[in-house]
Chain A
């Protein structure tokens, strides 16, 4: 946030409106407006407009709004930790309020591993401003100089006279003060931190273990109908005719409605289909089974993922569109003493959060209230408003807990469905996605192929580097026409390859979309991390060097890398390279830490092997070391170690849990993740044919955090990209079999 930002005070009415207290069922009517709200608003035309709210009740309860969605990453704990630290609050008094959709907060898109990195400074400002007002109120009450008072653990103290007043006592007085100018705020020294950097338990912990949490699937309203929707199996297909007679005869079924017909591009529109509304979920599902629908499947019914991937694979060996280059990669390859080349592929993947999407809507008197497990409350608000033909100010979006997100719940299609059905029925409607709906009607991680070539000179040094990528773009989902990887996708672990090689060429190939392509946890870094991390291991093997040493040589000396110097438009996750540089020293150090801690350089028994990889994504560095045993055609993952350098850490336990989760998520992808498409329709349907890692496949898992006082980087996603390469490399070093086509279960039992 720039120094030109100002702090505003908002009225209690605004506070209630924005924070959702009024709609949240909390009884505040009897409570006087003992609120000390502060609100920072960016006026510097930055895209990073920020707002947040702190209020303090007379009983010293500190209400902190979390405007980001909780999906397991711990943000409902992390955001308040930052505010509470600067506020000098008593953590036991903190009450977290989930913010409604509102642009006043700035971006609420809980994706891109950016909640802490984008809001760390802002949250400190919020806490510091509130603390300043409380201190001023205390100084005025005692008629003493402001310099002689200070806040500590929920009180304002005047040490000279050994007096203290609680935040609650001062709250009303503080609320009447003019908020301080941003420039006047003072911040706590990191060495004094009592809350930031501590492994504080989730604020929702007790509810988790008593079953009292409310997720999107759990919303219950009086007189509500439950909807189950039969969607066209092919994107772009339409309902030709349908017969609802048998459905209406199912006990409990109240109504059958065809969804308003949509055409491509898919965007966030509901998929064409027919909804069955009933007085319970089971009846809706039974009624849906009884539907008789004839589809017009449309052009995408010709899509076959096997033949599509074969085409990508055969094209990728040819020269593509150059997006970054330096020197003469082709010439250097011709002159190389030895060349290595390899093609890697990955299939489509789907998010499969444990909670399938769900949303509940009421549409009445030209207004809509919605409850959804959404990662994007504002996009939900906008898309619902557009679908209903009302202004977005008439749409109130309540954000429930998310039973996993991984990017699926960034797409508001399911909320639009609920709103359209609620409008049609005049009653509250909950749309319940089944697991089959989630697997078959999702937004998929792109199927892909990568081709790499490296040239070694007579000294076994890498003299040239060629890399190509091809996959259908997420932009196809929004345009319907995009037919090649876009810059915001090649920026993810491909165009930003931080290597110090004189002759380099990075190229893309054409690939068009046929199913909805979407962002899945770490996005294009998934396939780019697999291919790059595998190829470095292959080059190291060819050169007769350790993989760790090869990474060091390729990365080169300590420096800040700027890919734009080689003609590449680099996005850096929307951050400046000044604040978040590609720091080769930190990248190498992260790799070295995981190798040292894991013992990945140690000799293994016959049939066992270690694999390593390192990857920078979401402005953090993560290295993974994996140990496997390969015996009798079966791969057993024995150990996984992950080290992260994400700068300043707010909650080390939640960072570790994200590391652990990223390893498990990455293992599911590596070992078993595969969505295939036949005749335009997804073949898989549930966990029996789209398996997740289970307890008995989960190895010993260790995570490390690189100590750092640098600005906070991303945490939720960067743990995923190095996993697949570390697994494939480990399998190679254990067995001699190089896996270039994921998942592993195409080649081995897992």
Chain B
């Protein structure tokens, strides 16, 4: 049994320690918001937070997750009230939507590190997330909107704690 927390809830999985976190989430815990895109950390569809850092769940063995804290897209507010979710809706970012869980989790992690990213910062951080539908211009615009909105709200939506605990109050 390997124990860790997912969106603040403690879970235990009975599986080979080499199993990537992605498949533990999707098949064992039935949390399918985190997507399978490539299996080799090339596309970012499976991006989740591990102790607040954006990682690719498809190459993270669950043995390395033991005792740690995982945040997935399901940990984002269900009412879509997080500034990143709000910005995604404001810009109508998704097309097919498949990569967007990973895009959103990367964007939340980026803004946690850098609350005011410029174009180059966004390119550098988001270049690991492929969108075959081509929503890049809207993702970039949405990240900038989210940064502005978070400041207007006067909150700390992107500090480390909240990125690690995105289900909390924003």
A residues neighboring B (CB under 8 Å): 70-74, 199, 201-202, 204-215, 217-218, 220, 226, 251-252, 280-283, 352-356, 401-406, 432, 434-436, 653, 657-658, 660-665, 668, 686-688, 692-696, 698, 700-701
- Choose one: B15, B28, B96, B134; the contact of A403 (CB below 8 Å): B96
The verdict on B140 contacting chain A, using a C-beta distance below 8 Å, is yes
User: Do the beta carbons of A354 and B78 come within 8 Å of each other?
Assistant: no
A-B interface contact total, Cβ < 8 Å: 188
Q: Given the complex of chains A and B, what is the CA–CA distance between A646 and B41 in angstroms?
A: 39
The verdict on B137 contacting chain A, using a C-beta distance below 8 Å, is yes
User: Do the beta carbons of A354 and B134 come within 8 Å of each other?
Assistant: no
Q: Given the complex of chains A and B, what is the CA–CA distance between A218 and B33 in angstroms?
A: 8
Q: Given the complex of chains A and B, what is the CA–CA distance between A295 and B87 in angstroms?
A: 52
Residues of B near A356 (CB, < 8 A) are 36-37
User: Do the beta carbons of B20 and A686 come within 8 Å of each other?
Assistant: no
Given the interface contacts A215-B98, A356-B36, A403-B98, does A209 sit within 8 Å of B127 by beta carbon? no
Q: Given the complex of chains A and B, what is the CA–CA distance between A585 and B89 in angstroms?
A: 38
Q: Given the complex of chains A and B, what is the CA–CA distance between A73 and B130 in angstroms?
A: 18
The verdict on B38 contacting chain A, using a C-beta distance below 8 Å, is yes
Given the interface contacts A280-B15, A692-B130, does A209 sit within 8 Å of B100 by beta carbon? yes
Q: Given the complex of chains A and B, what is the CA–CA distance between A435 and B33 in angstroms?
A: 18
Contact-size category for B: 35 or more
- Choose one: A354, A435, A692, A693; the contact of B98 (CB below 8 Å): A354
Residues of A near B20 (CB, < 8 A) are 282
Given the interface contacts A210-B78, A211-B76, does A281 sit within 8 Å of B130 by beta carbon? no
Q: Mark B62-84, 1 if CB is under 8 A from A, else 0.
A: 00000000001110111010000
Across the interface, name the chain A residue whose C-beta is closest to B20. A282
Q: Given the complex of chains A and B, what is the CA–CA distance between A204 and B94 in angstroms?
A: 9
User: Do the beta carbons of B123 and A696 come within 8 Å of each other?
Assistant: yes
Residues of A near B122 (CB, < 8 A) are 695
Residues of B near A401 (CB, < 8 A) are 96-98
What is the minimal beta-carbon distance from A620 to any residue of chain B, in angstroms? Answer: 18
Given the interface contacts A210-B76, A688-B42, A696-B124, does A281 sit within 8 Å of B27 by beta carbon? yes
What is the minimal beta-carbon distance from B78 to any residue of chain A, in angstroms? Answer: 6
The verdict on B4 contacting chain A, using a C-beta distance below 8 Å, is no
Q: Mark B117-135, 1 if CB is under 8 A from A, else 0.
A: 0000011101101111111
Residues of B near A210 (CB, < 8 A) are 33, 73-74, 76-78, 80, 85
User: Do the beta carbons of B38 and A698 come within 8 Å of each other?
Assistant: no
Given the interface contacts A199-B92, A213-B97, A215-B98, does A355 sit within 8 Å of B127 by beta carbon? no
Given the interface contacts A282-B20, A696-B124, A701-B137, does A72 sit within 8 Å of B34 by beta carbon? no
The verdict on B104 contacting chain A, using a C-beta distance below 8 Å, is yes
Q: Given the complex of chains A and B, what is the CA–CA distance between A217 and B40 in angstroms?
A: 17
Residues of A near B28 (CB, < 8 A) are 280
Across the interface, name the chain A residue whose C-beta is closest to B94. A208
Q: Given the complex of chains A and B, what is the CA–CA distance between A740 and B40 in angstroms?
A: 33
Q: Given the complex of chains A and B, what is the CA–CA distance between A310 and B15 in angstroms?
A: 51
Given the interface contacts A211-B72, A211-B76, A687-B130, does A73 sit within 8 Å of B95 by beta carbon? yes
Q: Given the complex of chains A and B, what is the CA–CA distance between A484 and B137 in angstroms?
A: 40
User: Do the beta carbons of A434 and B136 come within 8 Å of each other?
Assistant: no
Given the interface contacts A217-B35, A281-B26, A698-B136, does A205 sit within 8 Å of B94 by beta carbon? yes
**Apart from A208-B100, A211-B34, A354-B43: 13 A-B pairs, beta carbons within 8 A:** A211-B33, A211-B76, A280-B23, A281-B26, A282-B16, A354-B130, A404-B96, A658-B95, A660-B135, A661-B134, A668-B132, A687-B43, A695-B139
Residues of B near A282 (CB, < 8 A) are 15-16, 19-20, 23, 27
User: Do the beta carbons of B98 and A695 come within 8 Å of each other?
Assistant: no
The verdict on B6 contacting chain A, using a C-beta distance below 8 Å, is no
What is the minimal beta-carbon distance from B96 to any residue of chain A, in angstroms? Answer: 3
Q: Which 10 A-B pairs have the closest CB atoms?
A: A211-B33, A664-B134, A403-B98, A72-B96, A211-B73, A72-B95, A661-B134, A698-B136, A218-B32, A696-B123
Residue from A209, A281, A436, A664 whose CB has the most chain B CB atoms within 10 Å: A209
Q: Given the complex of chains A and B, what is the CA–CA distance between A152 and B105 in angstroms?
A: 42
User: Do the beta carbons of B38 and A402 come within 8 Å of each other?
Assistant: no
- Would you list 21 pairs from A and B whose C-beta atoms are within 8 A, ordered by A residue? A72-B94, A72-B95, A204-B94, A205-B94, A207-B97, A209-B85, A211-B73, A215-B98, A220-B32, A282-B15, A354-B45, A354-B99, A354-B132, A403-B35, A405-B96, A657-B135, A661-B133, A664-B134, A665-B133, A686-B38, A695-B140
User: Do the beta carbons of A694 and B127 come within 8 Å of each other?
Assistant: yes
Q: Given the complex of chains A and B, what is the CA–CA distance between A71 and B138 in angstroms?
A: 18
User: Do the beta carbons of A206 and B89 come within 8 Å of each other?
Assistant: yes
- Choose one: A201, A354, A686, A701; the contact of B35 (CB below 8 Å): A354
Across the interface, name the chain A residue whose C-beta is closest to B136. A698
Residues of A near B101 (CB, < 8 A) are 211
Given the interface contacts A73-B95, A251-B16, A692-B130, does A686 sit within 8 Å of B40 by beta carbon? yes
User: Do the beta carbons of A355 and B94 come within 8 Å of each other?
Assistant: no
User: Do the beta carbons of B126 and A695 come within 8 Å of each other?
Assistant: yes
Residues of A near B127 (CB, < 8 A) are 694-696
Across the interface, name the chain A residue whose C-beta is closest to B90. A201
